[in-house]
Structure 1
């Protein structure tokens, strides 16, 4: 931020001082991307023109007053794409190669030979066709999986997915997938999209991977699907309540991998987020087009593909 401080007055604040810090401010950088303080402090935004959030998801700041305003909203898409794709490939391999069981047996000093699965030739359905979804598709294809996508509109010639199915036809295509990867943005259309009906459409041998938003999934329906063997397992990096409550049954299910919202957090990610904002700030000061402008009605940055 030193380059910005040389050309602008920068105010640093915590949540309780946000409303006052917003008075007279032209731009707001929401570095704490999990904070929900912006709506409550919005009355202080008397001249704000631009809001940037240090995440790909914008749901914490996409409240009605911002949607209705002329304030430009940008996000930090592009920072976490490859890291999240690597996480997805990692958990698919962990399931297929039974790493959790191997770790348990090692702790017990037990030598138990088993056969494991191959991921090559398996089918993955990636729900969400933005940059993160495309990075996931590319890496899974390189590992030998057959990949398709689910997005707003169907198309058969997508350069990264090949076939993209329309989101309103999701349940028709869930039975085809060995792995279902959620990376869709959280919108009114996607909230709770994975419910009992969706889980009932999946293969009993299928695994769910959620690296998008916890609210994409109805947690109670997921727990029931896992408990009854309706689906074979889940790798979950995001949850509708974070931190995951200690009494959640997800912690102790043998067919569940839990990680604390860290799939994209590579060493150096904080600096990378600041660099995205700094670049956009220089663009903003010079009147150039901003990167990653969010369509506030859609809830994400529209893709050209």
Structure 2
């Protein structure tokens, strides 16, 4: 069995892979471009662990299974691989802890006005006015809408519930509440018991009207592109705070900038954008009610350790011809 990783593996990570597939031939190398991936994969392999996938891989090389190192698959399904017979699995679940913590951190920073305090610190301004103090909020007792109740959304819901928030959830099929994907013990909401109510895509204005905070964790598909636009922003509470860690294209960025500028909503925590890097001309840079980061909410030191833990579990399943975790449905886009 030949396994190729286009990310250099540490000794413990290599050991985890070999323990799952004893006797396998494991080759690993850091590949920073699709051209490097293409050259390294060569004629093919049984299992490919990678961030990047060349569009011609299905026709040029013999690959039996692709394990992505990303939770999203839009960068792969936009090309010929969408109609390929090669099974593709995602790394959904390994980002749940860092991204849900990032989401809660963004919400807490906004509620406690830490983003304004940091700006005041840069100006060496002692900002302790009555008006500033009166704007500080608790998140306890407030309502959080989670738009996209996958692994990240479920862990966000668990943390929010621990903070005393009321959790509402929106998912494609609200009657299907069980999470069948990768979920380490103690994390998330595998049985879907945390939300007070579930909503379907057609009910998004209703869930937004009720919510003080909104976490957008949607994958990018044909059905989710610009899922939140002018009509949805008009439905939000004037003080609502939105966090987007999914994909920038699921929100109409122009409509969002207009709503933020006019203060039709309270603010936004943004880690993803329609175009990345975010253009220097974007009005989002200068808005005081925006907390902005460069697509780094999933970053953490143990990223590859978690990825190899998932890969090892899927390797065991692959060797035993059992169903793989996080298998992409090309028709759904995730």
Q: Which of 45, 57, 61 is the matching residue for 2:76? A: 61
Structure 2: stretches of 5+ with no match in the other structure:
1-8, 178-191
Matched, 1:230 2:264: yes
SS in 1 for 2:268: strand
**Deviation string for 1:144-201 (max 9, x for gaps)?**
1111001113349841223110111111221111111100111111011111111111
Deviations 1:207-258 (A, max 9, x none): 1110111111111111111111121110001112112122211111100000
**Superposition CA RMSD, Å:** 2.3
Partner of 2:249: 215
Tell which deviates more after alignment, 187-196 or 16-25: 16-25
TM-score (norm 1): 0.88
Equivalent residue number for residue 185 of structure 1: 219
Shift of 1:7: 1.9
Could you say which residue in structure 2 is the equivalent of 1:7? 24
Note if contact 1:153-1:164 (Cα within 8 Å) is conserved in structure 2.
no
Q: Structure 1 stretch 162-171 or stretch 107-116: which is displaced more?
A: 107-116
Displacement, 1:22? 4.1
Alpha-carbon spacing, 1:145–1:168, altered in 2? closer, same or farther (3 Å) = same
Stretch of structure 1 that moved more, 10-19 or 76-85: 10-19
Question: Contact 1:22–1:28 at 8 Å: present in 2 too?
Answer: no
Contact 1:156–1:164 (CA under 8 A) maintained in structure 2? no
> Is the 8 Å Cα contact of residues 26 and 48 (structure 1) preserved in structure 2?
yes
Q: Which residue, 55, 58, 83 being the options, matches 1:39?
A: 55
Match of 2:146 among 121, 126, 131: 126
Q: Is the 8 A contact 1:105 1:112 kept in 2?
A: no
Alpha-carbon separation, structure 2, partners of 1:166 and 1:199: 18
CA distance in 2, matches of 1:70, 1:179: 41
Give the Cα separation in 1 of the matches to 2:214 and 2:25. Answer: 46
Q: What stretches of structure 1 of length at least 5 have no aligned partner?
A: 301-305
- The 1:18–1:68 alpha-carbon spacing in structure 2 relative to 1, beyond 3 Å, is same
Q: 1: distance between equivalents of 2:283 and 2:266?
A: 16
Gap change, CA 1:53 and 1:212, over 3 Å in 2: same
From 117, 121, 128, the equivalent of 2:137 is: 117
Matches within 5 A, 1:101-250: 101-107=116-122, 108-113=124-129, 114-115=133-134, 116-155=136-175, 158-250=192-284
For the Cα contact (< 8 Å) 2:67–2:88, is it kept in 1?
A: yes
In the alignment, does 2:107 pair up with 1:92?
Answer: yes
TM-score by structure 2 length? Answer: 0.81
Is the contact made by 1:128 and 1:182 (CA closer than 8 Å) also made in structure 2? Answer: yes
1:64 Cα shift? Answer: 5.2
- Count of equivalent residues: 296
